[in-house]
Amino acid sequence: MNSLKTDLEMFNLNKTLAIVTGAARGNGAAIISGFEKAGAKVLAVDTQKTEYKMAVIGDISDHSIIQKVNTIVTNRNFKNLVLINNAGISKPSPSPYPHEDWDITLKVNLTAPFMLIESLIPLFKKTKKGSIINITSLNAELAFPNNPAYNASKGGLKMLTKFYAKSLGEYGVRVNNVGPGYMVTDMTQKSYSNEKLKKSREKHTFLGRWGQPEDLVGVCIFLASDASSYITGQDIYVDGGWTANGLIE
């Protein structure tokens, strides 16, 4: 029993400060709830007002918002710093794809995580312990129609993760990707409400269902904690088996 308790302590997030972007709803809100239950202090970042104790309201692709995040984190005490780049947008459109949609999607989904990581590198180097979790997508691996910007941004984020895993490893910082499959969120509500599309996506998984935001909590706690102390530069897909599925009958 004592050994089991010791093993479970590897997942404890006491003395952890976690920054979660896209925090107000969906995947971000579920992750924050799970992290708080695991003992972490959380800084929530979103364009929408939240009720969290620590929050920064604004567009994470804005330099001033990133600076606010950096200032708050610098003035907090912690032993383990975690950054979860969850904020993202999707703007599907048939060809010709609007240039403005391309620009804003890349800005939010790829450039903002890059800028936020860069701003926190001095703190990560000082702490000598931490975890960066980038929330990618099935689209980091697979081509979907009518959304080149989302495909490109998530594929780019996947490789940005591997770059930072390599460059920050010497400081004890681990960087990994978590790729959700089709999750029931505001972003996917249109597809989920369409019975034909809903069933088609369910059929593509091994588990026969859509994911829920809560399905992401366990893997994020794992990657943020000592339980994954030798895991970095990896892609973990929380997709019910979607990426492993071949023939769809």
Q: What is the mean pLDDT of residues 74-87?
A: 97
pLDDT at 111: 98
pLDDT at 8: 79
Please state, rounded to an integer, the average pLDDT across all residues of the chain: 94
Q: Residue 4's pLDDT band (boundaries 50, 70, 90)?
A: low
pLDDT digits (tens, 9 = 90+) for 191-213: 888 899 899 899 999 999 999 99
Mind listing the domains of the chain with CATH numbers?
Answer: 2-235 (3.40.50.720)
Q: Residue 249's pLDDT band (boundaries 50, 70, 90)?
A: confident
- Return the percentage of the chain with pLDDT > 90, whole number: 88
Q: Are 183 and 220 in contact (CB under 8 A)?
A: no
Task: Give the relative orientation of helices 217-224 and 26-37 as an angle to the nearest 10 degrees.
Answer: 50
3-state SS assignment for residue 48: coil
Q: Are 75 and 87 in contact (CB under 8 A)?
A: no
Which are the contacts of 151, defined by CB distance < 8 A and separation ≥ 6?
A: 139, 143, 144
Active site residues: 150
- pTM value? 0.95
- Per-residue pLDDT for 186 more than 90? no
pLDDT at 104: 98
The alpha carbon of 211 is separated from its chain's Cα centroid by a whole number of angstroms, namely: 15
- Return the percentage of the chain with pLDDT > 70, whole number: 98
- Per-residue pLDDT for 129 more than 80? yes
Dist. CA 238–CA 215, nearest whole Å: 7
Q: Are 139 and 96 in contact (CB under 8 A)?
A: no
Dist. CA 235–CA 85, nearest whole Å: 14
Q: What is the mean pLDDT of residues 55-61?
A: 96
Dist. CA 23–CA 56, nearest whole Å: 10
Residue 96, preceding peptide bond in cis (omega within 30° of 0): yes
Q: Residue 6's pLDDT band (boundaries 50, 70, 90)?
A: low
Residue 211 — φ and ψ, nearest 5°? -80, 155
pLDDT at 152: 98
Burial of residue 184, with CB atoms counted within 10 A of its CB: 0-12 exposed, 13-18 middle, 19 or more buried: middle
Q: Residue 182's pLDDT band (boundaries 50, 70, 90)?
A: very high
Strand order in the sheet with 41-46: 54-57, 41-46, 16-21, 80-85, 130-135, 173-180, 235-238
Q: Residue 3's pLDDT band (boundaries 50, 70, 90)?
A: low
